[in-house]
Amino acid sequence: MSTESKIAKISAAWYLGISGGLALVFYYVTTLQNFPAVARFGGAVWVFILTIIIAMPVVIPRIKKKYQ
């Protein structure tokens, strides 16, 4: 496995993990209140999208720095 693809995979694991994690937390919190299912699912997806956009530029350079 080349360094590039190794970096890409490790980075993906991190930013997907962070985004997925936050989306799950969001979903969990919404289940504690009386939100409609669409809001719960849709909200979780929106949180996932925004978080992945925030996480990618933070995670990728750090992983690159670590492994290059």
Nearer to another protein, 1 or 8 (CB): 8
DSSP 3-50: HHHHHHHHHHHHHHHHHHHHHHHHHHHHHHTT--HHHHHHHHHHHHHH
Counting contacts by CB under 8 A, is residue 49 touching another protein? Answer: yes
Counting contacts by CB under 8 A, is residue 56 touching another protein? Answer: yes
Residue 13 Cβ vs another protein, minimum distance, rounded to whole Å: 14
Which one-letter DSSP state was computed for residue 65? H
Q: Which residues bind another protein (CB under 8 A)?
A: 11, 29, 33, 35-39, 42-43, 46-47, 49-51, 53-54, 56-61, 64
